[in-house]
Amino acid sequence: MMLLGIDTGGTFTDFVLLDGQDIRIHKVLSTPDFPEHAILQGIKDLNIDLDAPDNDLYIIHGSTVGTNAVLEGKGVKTAFVTNKGFRDLLSLGRQTRRELYNLCPEPVTAPVPEVLCFEIDARLAADGSEITEISEESLICLRKQLENSQVQSVAINLLFSFINDEHEKVIESIVPEGLFISRSSAVLPEYKEYERGMATWLNAWVGPIMARYLSRLNHAVKDTRLSVMQSSGGTIAADQAGEQAVHLLLSGPAGGMAGAQHMAGCSGYDQLLTFDMGGTSTDVALIDGELTLSSEGFIGPYPVAVPMVDMHTIGAGGGSIAYIDEGGLLHVGPESAGADPGPACYGRGGKHPTVTDANLLLGRLRADAFLGGSMALNYEAARTAVVALAEQLNLTVEETAQGIVKVVNENMARALRVMSVQRGIEPSQLTLVSFGGAGGLHVCALAQSLKINRAVIPVNAGVLSALGMIVAPKVRLLSRSIIGLLEHYQRQQLEQYFSQMCVQGCAALKQEGVADSAIKIEKSVDLRYHGQSYYLNIKWPEQESDEAVFMKLNENFHEMHQRYYGHSLTQAIELVNIRIKLSGPHTTLPLQHNIKSVIRAKAGTVQSDEETTGVVARESLQVNDVVHGPALITETVSTTYLAIGWQCRVDETGNMILLGDSN
C-alpha cells in the first residue's frame, strides 16, 4: 500500500509519498478557491495513476478548508435552536471584553443573526430529569420556522443535554430533510452551555462546506481511500470527517506537530519547542513527551472547546508583507502575499516586499535552486519591491532586507516565549525543532534569541506537516461531563462510563479497519478544587487497586496544581469530565539515512554584504558529516541558513542536529 500525506497550506500544498521503503516529496502552489486542483496536480507530478486497476493508494489529508471558512466568515446560513429564553446565548457569551480599558470598543457581530435563533419550550433539570416536556405543537412550529428560514444547517444546543440527550434527539428527528444537523450532545457532551453551543454552531456553520469539499475530493481521486487529520493530532476517515468539521480546524498544524514529535523522538529528543514557518503563518508549540491538547483554543474570535493541539499561531511566514506604518516604523505581517501572486521574487505579479524577497537579497536563498530548481526566483523583482521600502526608510536595500528579517524573527521569538517563558519554562532546557518551507532560514537566529543551543532540522522538514499525516495514528477522543466531589464516586461507577465510551470509539475505529487488538486506550479525568472554574487533566491510574485509585488521583492532582500554579490547597477535589483516547498503530517510516555516492563539495558560494556563505546540498551529506557556519544547506523543499558560530551534524536518522557555540 502506498501512503500519501498531503498538507494544503496558504502558499504551497505539500506531498510526502511512502511507497514501500522509498519516500518521495513534492510541492506545488496552492489553489485556494479549489484546493483539490493543487492536490490533483501534485498526484499527477508524482506519476500516481489513480485509474490503475491495482491502485492501492491511501491518502491522509490536512485541510484548511474549514479553518479558512471560519477565519473569512464564509460559513453557511445556519439556524441555532435552544431553550426558551436562551436565544441570545451565543451573542452574550461570557460577557468578557477583548479590550478591558477601551471605553468605546467596536461592536461585535453576533455569531448567529437573531432571526435565525429559534427557541423551544422544553427544559431539563441539572440532574437530567425532565421539567418541561416538548409538545407536538412546538415541534411543528419549529419545523415550519426552519423551512421558512431557508437555512442549510441547524445547530441544536439545549441545557443539560450532556446528561440527557433525549430532547435534542427529538428535535433532530423533525428537522427538514437535506439540512446538515449538528447536535451538542454528539459534538461536545460537556458542561458550559456557551462553549458547547459555540462548538456545535461552528460544526454546523462550516460542516456543509467541509462535507462538500471532501465529496469533491473523493470524486476527484477516484474514491481512493481518504482520511483527514484532526486538530488533536490523529486521523479520521473522510466519510466521518464531514460531520465533525469542528474537529478539523487545526488539521494542517496538527500534522506538523505529529511529524516533529516523531522525527525528533527518533533522534532521542522529547522536550521540544517547535516552530513551523510556512508561506503565510508560523505555528509554535511545546511538546513534553506527548502532544499537549487544549480545550481552551480559539479560531479567530471564536472559542473552540473541543480538544486540539495546544499551539500559538501568528501571521509570520515567507510571504508576510513588510510595510511602514504612519509613525515610520517597519512592520512585517500579518498580511501575506499568499500563493497568488506570492512574493515579488516568484515573478507572478507580486509587488509588495516580503520575507522571502529579503532572504533572497541577503543571499540566503539560491535563485536557481528554489524547489530543487523547478521554480526560478526573480532577483530583480525582489530588489525592486524592497527598494521602494528602502527609500521610505532612507536605508540601503541590504539594510532594509536585514531589517525585515530581524522584525519577523522578533515576532516569532515573541510567539515562542508565549509557549515557554510565559508558562514558567526555561527555553534553554528545550530542543528547538524547526520545519516548514521557511523555518530553516531563521532557526539559528531564533535559537540565539531564546538562548537555546541545540536545534533539530528533521528529514524533509519543508514538508514535515505532510509527513506527520502519514505517521499519525487513527484516533478518537471522547468525553463526558460528570460533575461532583471525587470522594462521592466509586471506581466501578466511573469504569462503567469509560466502558460505554470505549464501545463507541472502538466501533468507529473498526470501521476504518483498525483491529481490536491494535487499539490503544488511554483514560483520564478532569479535576479541580471545589469552587474553581478551570480544571487539570489527570491520567487514570489503571494499575492501582480500587482503594488506591482515588488516593493516586488526589496525589497527582495536588502535584500538578503545585507545578502549574505554584501552590496546592486542602479543599476537596471535584470531578468535572472523564475522557478517553482510542488510537490505532503508528506508521513505521524507513528512517535509515539514504547514503548516496555524491561528491561532497561546496556547490558554490553566495556573496552577501556580511559574509561569504558556502552552499552544501543536503542530499550529499552522510551520517556524522559536520558542516560549520556560515553555510546554506539546500534541499528540494527548504533551505537551512547555518549562522556563524553554529555547526550541523547529520545523525543516523538523517536529521540535522544544529549546535551553538556552547556545545
Contacts by 506-509 with C-beta closer than 8 Å and gap 24+? 506/582, 508/240, 508/476, 509/474, 509/476, 509/582, 509/584
Q: Coil, strand or helix: which one is 122?
A: coil
Whole-angstrom CA distances from 177 to 143, 153, 174, 208 are 11, 11, 9, 14
For the chain, give the number of residues: 663
User: How much is the average pLDDT of 252-279?
Assistant: 91
Q: What pLDDT digit, counting tens, does each position of 446-466 carry?
A: 999 999 999 999 998 989 999
Phi, psi of 196 (to 5 degrees): -65, -40
> Position 407: which residue type?
V
Angle at 408 between CA 404 and CA 413, to 5 degrees: 145
Give the model's pLDDT for residue 592.
Answer: 52
Q: In the Cβ-directed half-sphere of 223, how many Cα atoms lie within 13 Å?
A: 1
Rounded to whole angstroms, the Cα distance separating 213 from 32 reads 12
Residue from 160, 180, 178, 156 nearest 169 by CA: 156
Mean pLDDT taken over the chain: 89
Residue from 227, 212, 222, 210 nearest 59 by CA: 227
Q: What pLDDT digit, counting tens, does each position of 41-60 carry?
A: 999 999 999 988 888 899 99
Query: Which residues share a beta bridge with 294?
Result: 308
Q: Are 604 and 593 in contact (CB under 8 A)?
A: no
Q: Are 462 and 441 in contact (CB under 8 A)?
A: no
List alpha helices for 394-490, DSSP H: 397-418, 443-449, 464-471
Lowest mean pLDDT among 148-162, 180-194, 364-378: 364-378
Q: Coil, strand or helix: which one is 17?
A: strand
Q: What is the DSSP string of 296-319?
A: SEEETTEEE-S-EE-EEEES-STT
Give the model's pLDDT for residue 598.
Answer: 31
Helix (H) or strand (E) holding 536: strand 536-539
Q: Are 649 and 626 in contact (CB under 8 A)?
A: yes
Give the model's pLDDT for residue 600.
Answer: 36
pLDDT of 66 above 90 = no
Q: What pLDDT digit, counting tens, does each position of 200-234 carry?
A: 999 999 999 999 999 999 999 987 899 999 999 88
Give the model's pLDDT for residue 206.
Answer: 94
Q: Are 273 and 419 in contact (CB under 8 A)?
A: yes
pTM reported for the whole predicted model:
0.84
What is the CATH architecture assignment of 74-203? 3-Layer(aba) Sandwich (3.40)
Residue 546 pLDDT grade (very low, low, confident, very high; cuts 50, 70, 90) = confident
Give the model's pLDDT for residue 593.
Answer: 46
Rounded to whole angstroms, the Cα distance separating 518 from 526 reads 26
Residue from 362, 369, 368, 403 nearest 383 by CA: 362
Residue 133 pLDDT grade (very low, low, confident, very high; cuts 50, 70, 90) = very high
User: How much is the average pLDDT of 100-126?
Assistant: 91
Q: Cell for 649?
A: 551534524
Q: Cell for 609?
A: 554584504
Q: Are 28 and 35 in contact (CB under 8 A)?
A: no
In the chain, ranges of CATH 3.40.50 domains: 74-203
Residue 326 pLDDT grade (very low, low, confident, very high; cuts 50, 70, 90) = confident
Q: Are 472 and 255 in contact (CB under 8 A)?
A: yes
Q: What pLDDT digit, counting tens, does each position of 597-644 carry?
A: 233 334 455 555 455 568 888 888 889 999 998 999 988 888 999 999
Q: Which residues of 570-592 are buried (b: 16+ CB within 10 A; e: fewer)?
A: eeebbbbbbbbbbbbeebebeee
